[in-house]
A and B are shown apart, each in its own frame.
Chain A
């Protein structure tokens, strides 16, 4: 059973007092089955904040084609999405909107922090930083961190594989062979 479905009542996830309700009927086999289904039909939200979004688009397009791995339909509305890919720099002014979008997503839901800016502030983590959130995990709970500046599409795909492993407990795809020479 994935962590998102576990029965942890009253755990407030965000400043907006957002929390997940436990499943009403909790049968392990049924949950496991649902988890596999969920992991193979991840609907990410169209949510590009900076240059990482270009790589995210590339991941969705023909060459890398994340539809092959079950994460095809980018949704323009948080109500229809279950993965938020925070692709880019989160500024202080954007922060309330990020939290609101997260809270609008129906559970179970997951967050991928894509790129160094979303992970830690990246190049903006400096002494005189006045407007960049240093790590989106200070706002919303993050499941997978994909480092890079920006990460290659392969990196984001690996992030998705990791997320699928978190959800269903198994890595479904072969590991890429190391290139020699």
Chain B
């Protein structure tokens, strides 16, 4: 089990195939847990690689990639937020580097980062504050289970299981 995230309420923890996904752990979190999880990882000397969002049918999936220099263990934190109110607490107070990543994510997807010190457009120009170019059209938008592979599940709550349930059933029928 991932030691660094001990004591954090997770929605789903899964060990991933490194050769296939490039990281070791995939952890789904509720938006309220991300600041706590990030500070735990900060204490465990993880560094932040990237913050980004993906546009799915279920909502925006905000991804946080963490890495360590001394142990090869990449961790991905995933936070699923609804389309109606895509709000995630900012982790810029813990990782300074998250500042620009979160601004970029706000530019491209319109995800609002609460308590961000300066959430103004970074890459887009100031007039385009409401233009989010990476939000997909319904025609090309896909479901999480079509894109992501859960991997070897350690623990998972009902909701997350349901998100991935159908895909597994389809695989079973193929076999």
Q: Interface on A for B, CB 8 Å cutoff?
A: 92-93, 128, 130-131
- Which residues from 83 to 140 on chain B have a C-beta closer than 8 Å to any C-beta of chain A? 123-125, 128, 131, 133
Identity of the chain B residue whose Cβ is nearest the Cβ of A96 in the assembled complex: B125
The answer to whether A130 and B123 have CB atoms under 8 Å apart is: no
Identity of the chain B residue whose Cβ is nearest the Cβ of A130 in the assembled complex: B133
Q: For chain B, which range describes its interface: under 10, 10 to 19, 20 to 34, or 35 or more residues?
A: under 10
Q: List 14 A-B contacts (CB under 8 A).
A: A92-B125, A92-B128, A93-B123, A93-B124, A93-B125, A128-B133, A130-B124, A130-B128, A130-B131, A130-B133, A131-B124, A131-B125, A131-B128, A131-B133
Identity of the chain A residue whose Cβ is nearest the Cβ of B125 in the assembled complex: A93
In this complex, which of B125, B131, B133 has the most chain A Cβ atoms within 10 angstroms of its Cβ? B125
Residue numbers in B under 8 Å from A93 (CB-CB): 123-125
A130 to B123 alpha-carbon distance, docked (Å) = 12
A125 to B30 alpha-carbon distance, docked (Å) = 40
Per DSSP, are chain B's interface residues mostly helix, strand or loop, or mixed?
A: loop
Q: Nearest 3 A-B pairs (CB), nearest first?
A: A93-B125, A130-B133, A92-B125
Residue numbers in A under 8 Å from B128 (CB-CB): 92, 130-131
A128 to B132 alpha-carbon distance, docked (Å) = 11
Closest CB of chain B to A165's CB: distance in Å? 37
A131 to B124 alpha-carbon distance, docked (Å) = 8
Q: Knowing that A93-B124, A130-B124 are A-B contacts, what are 12 other residue pairs whose CB atoms are under 8 Å apart, sorted by A's residue number?
A: A92-B125, A92-B128, A93-B123, A93-B125, A128-B133, A130-B128, A130-B131, A130-B133, A131-B124, A131-B125, A131-B128, A131-B133
A110 to B131 alpha-carbon distance, docked (Å) = 34
A131 to B125 alpha-carbon distance, docked (Å) = 8
Closest CB of chain B to A96's CB: distance in Å? 8
Residue numbers in B under 8 Å from A130 (CB-CB): 124, 128, 131, 133
Closest CB of chain B to A31's CB: distance in Å? 41
A92 to B127 alpha-carbon distance, docked (Å) = 10
Closest CB of chain B to A49's CB: distance in Å? 15
Residue numbers in B under 8 Å from A92 (CB-CB): 125, 128
A92 to B133 alpha-carbon distance, docked (Å) = 14
Closest CB of chain B to A100's CB: distance in Å? 14
A130 to B107 alpha-carbon distance, docked (Å) = 12
A131 to B132 alpha-carbon distance, docked (Å) = 11
Identity of the chain A residue whose Cβ is nearest the Cβ of B123 in the assembled complex: A93
Identity of the chain B residue whose Cβ is nearest the Cβ of A93 in the assembled complex: B125
Residue interface mask B47-86, A partner, CB < 8 A = 1: 0000000000000000000000000000000000000000
Closest CB of chain A to B150's CB: distance in Å? 32
A92 to B125 alpha-carbon distance, docked (Å) = 7
Closest CB of chain B to A98's CB: distance in Å? 13
